[in-house]
Amino acid sequence: MWLLQGEKSPSYSTISRFRTGRLKKCCENLFYQFVMKLGELGEIDYKNIFINGTKIEANSNKYSFVWKKSVDKFERKLKKKMIEKVNEINEEFGKCYATDSDSLNVTLYSEIIDDLNKIINENKE
């Protein structure tokens, strides 16, 4: 907006404070809302998940890329963490969601989230 009004531009530290202070807090929620809206519109079907390891940097060079091993390692850690969380939910709420790696998919997580939202809504009333 300040560009259009011919005013003095904010300093880099002002923009940085906004990005790290305010924007960081709401980015995950905005992304979640975006994905859910795409699902409602039928633009995505949640059947497949793709991890893109592309890094785009302002000062890129031949060493600024992501190795396949690091992406695979991250995926293994993420899957382990997700299994742990599902096990916690099973224990806490007396559920029996499958935790084998073949059963873990977006549909299962959507079902878990729906069930947890129902429990939250019941407790509010």
| Model pLDDT for residues 34-60, shown as the tens digit of each residue | 988 988 988 888 777 777 766 655 666
Residue 74's pLDDT is what?
85
Helix axes 106-124, 68-93, angle to 10 degrees: 40
Residue 55's pLDDT is what?
60
- Give Cβ neighbours of residue 49 (< 8 Å, ≥ 6 apart): 106
Contact status, residue 116 vs residue 89, Cβ threshold 8 Å = yes
Q: How far apart are CA 43 and CA 38, in angstroms?
A: 5
Residue 24's pLDDT is what?
76
**Nearest by Cα to 55 from 46, 63, 47:** 63
The rounded mean pLDDT for the chain is 80
At 68, is the pLDDT very low, low, confident or very high (cuts 50, 70, 90)? confident
Report if pTM > 0.75: no
Residue 1's pLDDT is what?
57
Residue 67's pLDDT is what?
73
